[in-house]
Structure 1
Amino acid sequence: MKITGVDVYRYDVGYAHGVYVMSGDRAAATEDGTLVRIRTDEGLDGWGEITTLGATYLPTFPAGIRAALGELARAVLGSDPTNLNQIHATMDATLMGQTFAKSAIDIACWDLLGKSVGLPISALLGGVLNDDFALYEAVPLGTPATMAEFVTARRSAGINRFQLKVGNHPRDDVARAKACVEAGDGNTVVVADANGGWNVADAQIALRGMEELPIFVEQPCRTTTDSILAHAHSTLPLVLDESIVDSAGVFRAKYEARAASINIKFGKLGGLSNAARMRDLTQELNLLVSVEDMWGGDVITAATSHLAASTRTEALLMTPFFNDWTDGHVAGHLPRSVDGRGSAPTGPGLGITVDVGRLGEPLTVVEF
């Protein structure tokens, strides 16, 4: 099989609950999504997605991703998309870094690999361990009362795992966390996620105030070093996310930060290939793991579902179905959650069919 063309599309990915707010008052109602279609000489297409969460969450932005995709698309023309190792070697020889753009191509190649052998990606990752799995939703930063109301409303839809957006004034964040815990029950999983928004002093104040709550705290400061300093005297389980970008970071998270869990995102690692490797390493180190990306619709949700389905049940802390959070329904709102639980499609590849008619003309077409 050979790659004969790469098409890059943009689409709007709106937030289903109004305005999404996180630390630093970073807010968005709609994100600028990027979809990639890889065409082959055997008539099979593969799809990937990379949708940012604004331009100040991680070091990337849509226009930069699309510029990189143009370079990478030209480089992989003529390559066998089912040879993932060679695809990555080619991309790495073309551009240093640019993991976010590489992620969309990698996911599309996994989709093609599955389609070429008639198997879902979860089977190619070693098999399904979770026929279904509990989903989480993020609680946008607001007043304690509005955040508790969000938790109550989503629990009525079957969700009982929540990632609270905190990271502003520490004493206000303590009140937010307490209100959300009180809105749950004994089985509710709560993660207070600062998205790196606290400085060391504010993080220490916040963690001290949350000390007696049954919660995890995620990425209190922007760097792992500052998060270690902030968390040094806390007994709350620590989750690291944005600052973990390679395997060395995972080892540091366990042995220096004493972290309990790692949050893995496709984009910051360069796609499903590297995300699966880091997932496996995290499991072997006896840490909990969450799998996801920054944002997106049906395509990234499908990719997430396959990685979650093949993760050890006891190791999987959190995973979202972004197409529940957003209106990015380019594949018929599939896969679809049921009562707060998700499962991986059983069809080949991603197991979904993208409706190209919903996308308009591609921004970029690279072909022979």
Structure 2
Amino acid sequence: MDADRLALWLTLVRVPGLGTRGRRALLEQLGTIEAVFAASRVGLASAFEAATGEAPRPEAIDTLLAGPDASRVGPDLAWLAEPDRCLVTWTDPDYPPLLREIADAPVALYVRGERAALAEPQLAIVGSRNASLVGQQNAAAFARALARAGLTITSGLAMGVDAAAHRGALEAGGRTVAVAGHGLDLVYPARHRELAEAIARRGALVSEFPIGTPPHAGNFPVRNRIISGLATGVLVVEAALRSGSLITARLAAEQGREVFALPGSIHSPLARGCHALIRQGAKLVEDAGHVLEELGALLPSVPSVSSRSTHEASNLDDDARRLLRLLSHDPLSIDALIEHSGLTPDIVSSILLTLELRGLVTAGPGATYQRAAPLTQSD
């Protein structure tokens, strides 16, 4: 995109008082970004009113008539001049097709990393920022399994479930997309800077917010529609009853996306949001295979997790298969495995190392282990 046209898009994104739907309305009524900035005051007002039924704010029309202002779009242009950064706009052929379907899709996205990742089949994984260790392990395990099956994992780079989902996808060698609630010149939370760098190398960081936008609390519920809008479905892992993750789930349902929820203990406050979603019609899932079964018709190119797990376990000896059958997605101590398997400690330790190297189990704190792949008939 040439610099003049890019400046027009950046100006449109920064127009005050226009709103996401107002920007879309002008583009749809007038046809091109150039036509928007070439229109008269009357033409802009008429186009806006025809699409929204409301009169535009005078300051919005004044900004459009004034055209690009170097002092306003300069930070954006400087950021975009760096490698692996781009602006994906509403009229680009590779604008994410699923996101284009939602009513309040942004007219432009700032992207750092691989813009092609935005158009790939995606599954959003969201949940509590204060997730339990088990919740984080579950998020990572689902992300690993689904990434290995070919899905790009989308989340919000927050603490807890979001970070675990991103890391799980990266550990599996898959791709992941992080949708930010601020300008991409920042990383929030700051402790996720290294994770953000890894995501940019193996996926994409995305934001609708211009460069320099701070992480205001109100931005995060707004960005949630993009997390759900990019994805074919949303999986909620641990959420309290008043959780931002439930906003994402509600938006996903309104957008016609599949909503999945992982059940938890009836005694845990972090399970109540998921249980409420299940009562409202969300699909209860216990392993990644359940997710892919539901998405199969939408994603025929994504292979079955069950078939992958069967293949990975097919060459195990009898002792290893016995140990694998004892493990679930909940942590189990090595002492319990020794007791229930009847195998010696040395043999159990050796088998667990083999299973971990093959990606079938993960180690947790306190010498515990759990499955990293869904249970299958052949196990």
The answer to which structure has the higher helix fraction is: 2
| Structure with more contact order per residue of length (Cα contacts < 8 Å, sep ≥ 6) | 1
- TM more than 0.5: no
Max Rg structure: 2
Name the TM-score class by shorter chain.
Answer: under 0.3
